[in-house]
Amino acid sequence: MTHHQHIHWIKLGAVFSALVLLWYLWSPLEQNARAETESIVAQQEARAEKRAQAEERILSSAQEGLQEKVSKASLSVGTLMLATSTLPAVSAGSVAVVDLETEQELYMKNADEVRPIASISKLVTALSAYAQTGLNTAMLAPSGEVYTFGDLLRPLFLKSDNAVADSIAQHFGTTKFVGFMNTYVKSIGMQHSAFADPSGISPKNVSTARDLVTLSRFLVEKKRDILTITTEKKATIVSTEGVRWSMDNQNVFAREDSRFLGGKLGFTSQAKKTSIALLSLQLQGERHLVAIVVLGSDDWKQDTHTILTWLESQA
């Protein structure tokens, strides 16, 4: 072996020794780093699992809370349990008795039969005018005196004054106004109702008991200020010239029953006796807002009382 070859092998040996030393030193560092990395990953995974479990508990609790609220809400409404085998016998050709809060139909008799409704029409007259003007608008009364529209609603409802209904329509133009009445009722969901005059004298002023429940619900939910006028026991209005006009409410429920929340009576020979009565009733331990509609009745008052007695007798 020459001198140069000897030097070469010495250098190779030195390099090999250095590599062995580096491997010896690096191996435990690599192992430690790997162990540390694995530890960090394990900790992260554990934390992620804990977060997932916590989120699951929160979600489960929220769902249980929501179910509890829904359950409580359902219990607070309360569906009435009625003995349908003992339905009341009434003279009315059509009847609709509906809980306006739960929409439960409590008693329906020919509720979709189209019938003349007489002066119940005046509720639609008032709503149709109110949709086009304000309560303080000046209007000419049949007497020639000028009152506000809001004032004229008193004789319209309490006296069921046909001439006042005509005067309100004339303020807008009668033909145009009656056309508006027909458009208006369709817009609030009364699909089987039609009107030929603002007073209800015409037998062509027709509706169904079910449609009149829709009207009742609309009054309660959207036009309570109009409905409330029908509950006044008496009223006095004063014209712009100072002429006083006093009247009593013809509706016995308005005068005598504190549960009465509004309504309207009607009568013509073709329609017979008609009525809408909205009452707040204590039934089966809960307060219910009930609409009672009778059409084609021989005695609206007796029929309504018969229905009330039947409802209150349900244990």
72 and 108 together in one domain: no
177 shares its domain with 141: yes
Q: Which of 31, 61, 77 is the last residue of a domain?
A: 77
Round to whole Å and give the CA distance between 19 and 39: 29
pLDDT at 72: 31
Q: Helix 209-222 crosses helix 121-130 at what angle (to 10 degrees)? A: 40
Is residue 59 domain-shared with residue 198, that is, in the same domain? no
Dist. CA 297–CA 91, nearest whole Å:
5
* Residues of the chain under the 70 pLDDT cut: 1-78, 83-85, 315
Q: 139 and 233 share a domain? A: yes
What pLDDT score does 87 carry? 79
User: 21 burial class (0-12, 13-18, 19+ CB within 10 angstroms)?
Assistant: exposed
Same domain, 287 and 209: yes
Summarised one tens digit per residue, pLDDT across range 248-271 is 999 999 999 999 999 999 999 999
88 and 61 share a domain?
no
Which stretches does DSSP call E strand in the chain?
Answer: 94-99, 105-109, 115-116, 138-140, 146-148, 206-207, 234-238, 244-248, 260-268, 272-283, 286-297
CA distance linking residue 206 with residue 212, whole number of Å: 10
The contacts of residue 164 (CB under 8 Å, 6+ apart) are: 141, 142, 152, 155, 156
The pairing of beta strand 206-207 with beta strand 234-238: unpaired
Please state, in angstroms and rounded to a whole number, the distance separating the CA atoms of residues 226 and 231. Answer: 10
* Residue range(s) defining the domain that contains residue 61: 1-77
The answer to whether residues 175 and 116 belong to one domain is yes
Q: Are residues 145 and 291 located together in one domain of the fold?
A: yes
Residue 293: beta bridge partners?
96, 276
**What is the number of other CB atoms lying within 10 angstroms of the CB of residue 49?**
10
> Are 203 and 97 members of one domain?
yes
- Are 93 and 234 members of one domain? yes
Beta-bridge partner residues of 99? 290
Domain boundary among the residues 77, 95, 110 is at 77
Whether 60 and 83 map to the same domain: the answer is no
Helices (H) and strands (E) in the chain, counts: 9, 11
**How many domains does the chain fold into?**
2
Whether 267 and 246 have beta carbons less than 8 Å apart is answered as no
Cα separation, 37 vs 126, in Å, equals 81
Give the H or E element holding residue 270: none
Three-state SS across 221-254? Answer: HHCHHHHHHCCCCEEEEECCCCCEEEEECCCHHH
Q: Residues 82, 63: one domain?
A: no
Q: Give the C-alpha distances (Å, rounded to integers) separating 260 from 99, 135, 150, 193, 199.
A: 14, 24, 21, 25, 23
What are the pLDDT digits (tens) for 79-129? 777 766 577 899 999 999 999 999 999 999 999 999 999 999 999 999 999
Q: What is the β-pairing status of strands 286-297 and 138-140?
A: unpaired
